[in-house]
Amino acid sequence: MLDKGNMSIKGFTDKNCDLIQGNYVHYVVTWHGKNDVSRFAGKIVRLRFEMRNAKLYAFQFVE
């Protein structure tokens, strides 16, 4: 995750993100086992997806 200035957000970098392997229709992304991103509600954030041999069809934030 990046802030509105494209700077990495501490604790939510690619190095903190838990690896996702497989084919999923529903999967919760975690950073060191935690998935709470509520502190970013109402704020501008950017997402950068790093994938290998993969396709991303959709994503969403839900409560």
6-34 residue pLDDT tens:
999 999 999 999 999 988 888 999 999 99
State the average pLDDT over residues 38-45.
Answer: 94
What is the tally of structural domains in the chain?
1
Mean pLDDT of the chain: 93
Whether the Cβ atoms of residue 27 and residue 17 lie closer than 8 Å to each other: no
Nearest to 29 by CA among 54, 57, 1: 1
For the ranges 11-15, 17-21, 40-44, 58-62, the lowest mean pLDDT is seen at 58-62
Query: Which pairing describes strands 2-3 and 45-46: parallel, antiparallel, or unpaired?
Result: antiparallel
Give the end-to-end CA distance of the chain in Å, rounded to a whole number: 18
pTM above 0.85?
no
Q: Is the pLDDT of residue 63 over 80?
A: no
Domain of residue 25: give its range.
Answer: 1-63
Going by the DSSP 8-state scheme, the letter that residue 38 receives in this structure is: G
> CA-to-CA distance for 26 and 5, rounded, in angstroms?
30
